[in-house]
């Protein structure tokens, strides 16, 4: 049986290039903190334990690692020093130790597994994920001779021939657990940067007669995020991946490049997404639902056959049931639209529960906020809310009730009642012509006195 892996996630390095009060690994990508993407990939290996290495006073980062343990690297003395800081938390573990970076969010579980399995198969003391870099200059180079990984040379320490090598170190390494303490303990800092390099474990293990191997992966997975520009590049790459997965699962996207997903967006087969739609966190869309162009949708389940948009905004805490229609310029916030209910144009429905098959007219507002507290609007089944009505919450409109257009409803409306909450119309016969004459004369007089 293959021994289970322990994972060390390095997240203690300086991140000044982000120019941010937020620690680098907590910057969001597809709605999740960068670190969470790394942890999700790592978790798929079902590791025996995960140890986060964080900087001093990085409480938010420690919280993002929870329930996994974190250890503090007191000074950023290099990747080797950071990995060594985790040793105390690896006591009793003799399976492989996988070291990954917290700022390399595109790494997949499949690639990590490939490395761990190759190390197991080849009985390697050290394994490295390498890649052919378009621009090798920022990376450590993998020096392979006669098919054997001999050492890793950092750019700053490389000689002219080593600089020509384009097979680069991704940073992901796998150490044999029983050797981890001795390999890490033997790292020195006599190099161009005066740092303890994790990469030195390759030459150290070779000198001790052990085997070191390199496994090739795809450069796209090893993108490290050090700046806002790199964050945007990672976001774009992740979006491509999420869209491709959705389409493979049967989702139609008319212009995929304009659809922005969250890492947890769940779209069923035969959902159609029109151009320019953004999904925030916690969205589930069931089959045959259609999201028309220019919608912003978060925190909602949208049921089978529902139609949303164009230009709709759905905010968290909402539930849109089967065959509901939400039309243009309709905003929902923490609102339940039950089966077949419709709000086709220009409405704000906040903290509301809209009964099945009810019709919400254009311009309806659920007046849910009095400046201090939020209040609920509850509408029964098959109710009809006439256009341009304000429903001043807390308020209830019963099943089958009809609210006349232009009403301001401040009292509950019982089932099947007709409620009119507006001034009574006054009609004065033949009065339009004298009014026109009066207004015309007034305008002429104003023009004369201006001259």
Q: Which residues bind ligand UD1 (CB under 6 A)?
A: 10-13, 53, 73, 76-79, 81-82, 101-103, 139-140, 152, 154, 168-171, 197-199, 224
- Catalytic pick among 27, 37, 68, 345: 345
Q: What is the largest CA-CA distance in the chain?
A: 109
Distance of CA 148 to the CA centre of its chain: 40
The Cα–Cα gap between 312 and 326 comes to 7
How many chain residues interact with Mg ion (CB under 5 A)?
A: 1
Q: Which residues on adjacent β-strands are paired with residue 366?
A: 391
In whole angstroms, how close is the CB of 300 to Mg ion at the nearest point?
38
Closest to ligand UD1 by CB, 47 or 171? 171
Closest to ligand UD1 by CB, 171 or 355? 171
345 is a catalytic site residue = yes
In whole angstroms, how close is the CB of 275 to ligand UD1 at the nearest point?
36
In whole angstroms, how close is the CB of 101 to ligand UD1 at the nearest point?
4
Residues 220-259 as x/- pattern, contact with Mg ion by CB under 5 A:
----x-----------------------------------
The Cα–Cα gap between 247 and 264 comes to 15
List the helix and strand counts (H, then E) for the chain: 9, 36
The Cα–Cα gap between 391 and 370 comes to 12
The Cα–Cα gap between 395 and 368 comes to 10
Closest to ligand UD1 by CB, 11 or 395? 11
Closest to Mg ion by CB, 222 or 348? 222
> Which residue sits closest to ligand UD1, CB atoms considered?
140
In whole angstroms, how close is the CB of 224 to ligand UD1 at the nearest point?
5
Q: Which does 350 bind (CB under 5 to 8 A by kind): ligand UD1, Mg ion, none?
A: none
The DSSP code for 137 is T
Closest to ligand UD1 by CB, 34 or 383? 34
In whole angstroms, how close is the CB of 196 to ligand UD1 at the nearest point?
8
Helix (H, G, I), strand (E, B) or coil at 204: helix
Q: Which residues on adjacent β-strands are paired with residue 273?
A: 253, 291
The Cα–Cα gap between 47 and 232 comes to 30
Q: Are the C-beta atoms of residues 45 and 5 closer than 8 Å to each other?
A: yes
Interacting residues with Mg ion (CB under 5 A): 224
Residue numbers annotated as active site: 345
């Amino acid at each position: 049986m293959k021994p289970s892996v322990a994972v060390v996630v390095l997240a203690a390095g300086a991140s000044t290039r982000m120019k941010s009060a937020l620690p680098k690994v907590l910057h969001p990508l597809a709605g999740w903190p960068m670190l969470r993407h790394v942890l999700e990939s790592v978790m798929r290996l079902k590791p025996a334990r995960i140890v986060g290495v964080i900087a001093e006073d990085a409480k938010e980062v420690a919280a993002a690692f929870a329930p996994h343990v974190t250890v503090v690297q007191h000074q950023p003395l290099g990747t080797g020093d950071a990995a060594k800081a985790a040793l105390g938390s690896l006591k009793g573990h003799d399976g492989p130790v996988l070291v990954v970076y917290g700022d390399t969010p595109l790494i997949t579980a499949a690639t990590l597994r490939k490395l761990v399995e190759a190390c197991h198969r080849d009985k390697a003391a050290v394994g490295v994920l390498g890649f052919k870099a378009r621009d090798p200059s920022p990376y450590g180079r993998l020096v392979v001779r006669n098919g054997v990984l001999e050492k890793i040379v950092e750019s700053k320490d490389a000689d002219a021939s080593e600089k020509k090598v384009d097979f680069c170190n991704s940073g992901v390494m796998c150490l044999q657990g029983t050797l981890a303490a001795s390999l890490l303990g033997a790292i020195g800092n006599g190099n161009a940067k005066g740092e303890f390099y994790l990469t030195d474990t390759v030459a150290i293990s070779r000198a001790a007669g052990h085997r070191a191997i390199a496994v090739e992966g795809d450069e796209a997975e090893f993108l490290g995020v050090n700046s806002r520009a790199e964050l945007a590049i990672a976001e774009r790459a992740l979006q491509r991946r999420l869209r491709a997965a959705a389409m493979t699962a049967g989702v139609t996207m008319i212009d995929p490049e304009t659809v922005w997903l969250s890492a947890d967006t769940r779209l069923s087969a035969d959902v159609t997404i029109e151009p320019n739609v953004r999904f925030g966190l916690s969205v589930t869309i069931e089959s045959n639902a259609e999201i028309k162009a220019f919608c912003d949708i978060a925190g909602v389940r949208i049921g089978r056959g529902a139609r949303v948009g164009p230009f709709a905004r759905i905010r968290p805490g909402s539930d849109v049931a089967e065959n509901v229609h939400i039309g243009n310029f309709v905003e929902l916030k923490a609102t339940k639209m039950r089966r077949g209910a419709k709000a086709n144009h220009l409405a704000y429905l906040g903290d509301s529960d809209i009964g099945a098959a009810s019709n919400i007219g254009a311009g309806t507002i659920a007046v849910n906020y009095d400046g201090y507290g939020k209040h609920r609007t509850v509408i029964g089944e098959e109710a009809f809310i006439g256009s341009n009505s304000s429903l001043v919450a807390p308020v209830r409109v019963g099943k089958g009730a009809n609210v006349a257009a232009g009403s301001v409803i401040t009292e509950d409306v019982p089932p099947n009642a007709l409620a009119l909450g507006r001034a009574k119309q006054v009609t004065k016969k033949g009065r339009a012509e004298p009014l026109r004459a009066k207004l015309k004369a007034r305008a002429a007089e104003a023009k004369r006195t201006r001259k």
